Amino acid sequence: MSTKHQSESLASVVAIDKMNIGLQAAYRADISKDLSSILAATYRLTIKSHIYHWNVVGPVFKSLHELLEEHYNALFGAVDVIAERIRALGHLAPVKLDKTESFAPSHDSVDHKTAQDMVADLIADHEEAVRAMRKAATKAGDNDDVVTEDMLTARLTFHEKALWMLRAVIAG
């Protein structure tokens, strides 16, 4: 088989207008946009958690270093789950995540952050993720999309536990 024919046979043939999975096309497009935003935010949080993992210092170094490693590994796994749900809904997972250079904190901001500052920054990002996921999960539930709702419930569980643990690390 020629290379041209191989690539044609491997080409994705998706007719989203003919999809009949019990979810309206307009809803699938809308929730896929929401999930794409959640995916981008998850990447940002993954990268930030990883950078803070490398650069944290102080008396909570060991516990925070280990906690952030658990978090960035879980977050990295989550991006695949979210992207695959977007594909299952008949849409492309984001091919290009705009402004990826803004995903990570700057060198100067990391250099001058205390462990408490880093944790406070991560708490704000996790809280933002929780709010977006809760809103999308409600939309999914209202549209009988139990799979997306369940996926988001699992993600919310992770983020709310992460928030509890991060707050506990810096509790005075």
Whether the CB-CB separation of 149 and 141 falls below 8 Å is answered with: yes
Structure tokens given for 140 = 């999914």
DSSP 1: -
Cα–Cα separations (whole angstroms), residue 171 to 105, 117, 120, 127? 24, 13, 11, 17
Amino acid found at 51: I
Please give the pLDDT value at position 107.
Answer: 59
Cβ atoms within 10 Å, residue 62: 9
Amino acid found at 108: D
Does the pTM surpass 0.85? The reply is no
Per the prediction, the chain carries an average pLDDT of 86
DSSP 7-65: HHHHS----GGG--SSS-HHHHHHHHHHHHHHHHHHHHHHHHHHHHHHH--STTHHHHH
List the domains of the chain with CATH numbers. 23-170 (1.20.1260.10)
Structure tokens given for 143 = 């549209």
Please give the pLDDT value at position 159.
Answer: 98
Over residues 35-54, the pLDDT tens digits come to 999 998 998 899 999 999 99
Residue 34 pLDDT greater than 60, yes or no: yes
Whether the CB-CB separation of 46 and 97 falls below 8 Å is answered with: no
Please state the rounded mean pLDDT for residues 2-6: 50
Over residues 87-139, the pLDDT tens digits come to 999 999 886 665 455 555 655 656 668 999 999 999 999 999 999 999 999 99
Residue 16 pLDDT greater than 80, yes or no: no
Please state the rounded mean pLDDT for residues 56-72: 94
Please state the rounded mean pLDDT for residues 148-167: 98
DSSP 104: S
Amino acid found at 19: M
